[in-house]
Structure 1
Amino acid sequence: MLNNYLKVYWLGNLVFLLNIILLLFLLSYQFMHFAKFPIREIKVVGQYQHLDADQVGMISDRFVKGNFFSLDLYSAKEAFTKLPWIRKVSLKRVWPDRLEVFVEEHQVIGRWGAIALVNENGEIFHGASDEDLPLFFGPEGTETYIALEYKKMQSILDKKQLKIAQVSLSPRYTWDIRTTNNMKIILSKDNIEESLSRFMAQYDNILASVKRIGSADLRYPNGFAIKKSTEPNQKIDSGERPLI
C-alpha cells in the first residue's frame, strides 16, 4: 500500500516537472521568436576598401532574418564570405540590437593570368581591380609558391628600384622574370635568392658597361650571362605571356 502511494507520489512529481520544463521551453521559444528585439544596426569592423554599403544592405535584406536571438549567424556569415574581396569574416551579436561583422579583405599582390587575382598568402580569388599589378603564370597548384617567391624576389630588386611586371614558372621550375623596364631575368629552381642577390650586387657595374640589359641568365653556379638590349627601355606589355 505504501509502495503504491510512493509510486503515485513520484510519478506525479515527475509529470509536474516535465510540465514545468515544457512550459519553460515554450516560453523561451516564444520569447526568442517574438517580433521584438530586432537587429537595428549592422556595424562592419576591420580595414576594408572594397566592401560598400550597398553590399551590406543587400546581405541585410536577404540574410539577416529574425531578431537578436533567432538570427541565423551561419547563413549571414556565408553570405558575407561570398563577396568578392572578403577573405575571412566573423559575426557577433551585441546587445540589444546590433550585429557586428568583422571582415578581413584579400590583400592583392598580383594577377593569376587573366582569370583571377592573387593575395599575399598565394590564394587565388576573383574580384575587379584597376591596379597595375604583376602577372603570375605557372602550373596548377603553384600559386602559393609563386606568390611567396615573388615577394622575396621583389624585396631584393627593390634595392635597385626595379619592379617586377611578370613572373612565369615553367613545368620544370625555371623562372622567367620580367621587370617593368623590360629586362628579362632567368633563374633556376635552386638558390633563387642567392643568385638574384649576387646579380643585384653587380647590377650597377653591368649597367655602366652595357647601358641597357636585355636579359640576365642567373642559372650558372658562380656567375651569370648578360645580353645587351638593343631596344629602348619600354614598359612590358602585361597582356602577353613570356615564354621559357
Structure 2
Amino acid sequence: MNRIRKPNRRKRRPARTVLQARLGPKQRKRLILRRIASVLLILAGIGAVGGAGYYAGTRLALPFLSADSRYALRDIVVDGTGRLPRKEIITASGLRVGQNLLGVSLPEVYKAVSSLPYVQRASVRRVLPDRIEIRVEERVPLARVVTKAKRFSGRNLCVDYQGVVFVARKGEVLSLLPELEGVPSDDLEIGNRLATPECRAALRLLGLLQENPSMRNLLDPAVVDVSGRLCLKVVSRDGVGIVLRLDHLERQMRRLQKIYAFSQSRGRKVASVDLTPEQNVPVIFEY
C-alpha cells in the first residue's frame, strides 16, 4: 500500500548573508574598520582629484588667462560712500585699471580698505570679465572725544556707535556733537573700542537719544563726563546738570521727564538733578 507523503510545510530559512550572520565582537570590529577604511579611501580619492583640478586651474590655466586682454580690469565700482571720497578708497585698495582681474587678491583688497579709519565695514567682489565692486559702510561719529593726552594733540578724535575711536576728517563739522570727557588715557587708542563701563553706558545713552527724538528733545547733551565711578555726569545744552546711573537709562529718562513736567507746571527751571537714588531724587531749581 502506497503511502502518501505529506508535503513538508516547514519553511526553509533563507540563506544568511555575511551581514546577517552572527558575528563575534572581533569580527564586528574588523567589519566596521573595513567600512571606515573604504570611506576614507573614497574621500582621499575625491580630494586628490579636486587638488589636481585646482592645481591645473591655478598653475596651468592662470598664466594663459593672465595674458588675455578680456580679463583686464576696466571698471572699479565703489558704493556706499558719503563723506569718504571714492578716490581715497581706490588708492587704499591698490587697484589700477588695466591689471589682470584674475590676479587680484580679494582678501588683500578687503584688508586694505577695511584698515581705513573711516570705514566700519567693507566687502569686495570680482565680476567677470573686467569689473571689481567695493562696498563700504562709513563710520558715523556719535561724539567728540576730549582728551589732554599729548599723543593726540591736534587731532579731532571721535567715537562711533560701536565705541570705536577714530580721527575725524579735515573739514568735518563736529560742533553739533556732544563731547565725551574723562576717558582714561590707557583706554584711548585709535581703532580700539572704549571698554570701561562708564564709556559703554555713555554710548548707550547717546544712541538712545539719537533713536528717540522725544527723548532728545528732553535731554540734548553738550558734555558727557565718564570720569565718575559707576555714574555719568551730563550737562545739557541749556546748562542743566544731570547725574545718571549706568543701568536702566530709559527708566531714568522717564523720571527726568516727570521732573521737567513738574517744574514747568510750577513755573520753575531745573538747575541740576541726581537720578542715581531710587527714591527721594535730589533736584535743585534756579528759581
Q: TM-score, length-normalised on structure 2?
A: 0.62
* Alpha-carbon distance, 1:53 to partner: 3.1
Q: Paired residue for 2:204? A: 148
Q: Paired residue for 1:58? A: 91
Q: Which has the higher strand share?
A: 1
% identity of equivalent residues: 22
Q: Paired residue for 2:178? A: 134
Cα deviation code 1:177-196 (max 9, x no counterpart): 11111111012335443233
Matched, 1:193 2:250: yes
Partner secondary structure for residue 279 of structure 2: coil
Q: Paired residue for 1:117? A: 158
Q: Paired residue for 1:93? A: 126
Letter in 2 for 1:121: Q
Cα deviation code 1:26-77 (max 9, x no counterpart): 641322432622111111123x3122133144236x4448411111222222
- For structure 1, the 5+ residue unaligned runs are 1-20, 231-244
Q: Structure 1's 190 and 101: CA in aligned 2 closer, same or farther, altered over 3 A?
A: closer
* Alpha-carbon distance, 1:104 to partner: 1.0
Partner secondary structure for residue 76 of structure 1: helix
Report the RMSD for the aligned CA atoms in angstroms: 2.9
Q: Paired residue for 1:42? A: 76
Partner secondary structure for residue 101 of structure 2: coil
The answer to which structure, 1 or 2, has the higher relative contact order (CA under 8 A, 6+ apart) is 1
Name the larger-Rg structure.
2
Separation in 1, partners of 2:121, 2:233: 33
Is the CA contact (8 Å cut-off) linking 2:218 and 2:257 kept in structure 1?
Answer: no
* Alpha-carbon distance, 1:176 to partner: 0.3
Is the CA contact (8 Å cut-off) linking 1:63 and 1:79 kept in structure 2?
Answer: no
Q: Structure 1's 225 and 144: CA in aligned 2 closer, same or farther, altered over 3 A?
A: closer
* Alpha-carbon distance, 1:122 to partner: 2.2
Separation in 1, partners of 2:213, 2:59: 67
Letter in 2 for 1:105: E
* Alpha-carbon distance, 1:215 to partner: 1.0
Q: Greater CA deviation, 99-108 or 165-174?
A: 165-174
Q: Paired residue for 2:63? A: 30
Q: Greater CA deviation, 131-140 or 80-89?
A: 131-140
Partner secondary structure for residue 108 of structure 1: coil
Letter in 2 for 1:72: S
Q: TM-score, length-normalised on structure 1?
A: 0.72
Q: Structure 1's 208 and 161: CA in aligned 2 closer, same or farther, altered over 3 A?
A: same
- For structure 2, the 5+ residue unaligned runs are 1-53, 148-155, 188-194
The size of the alignment, in residue pairs, is 208
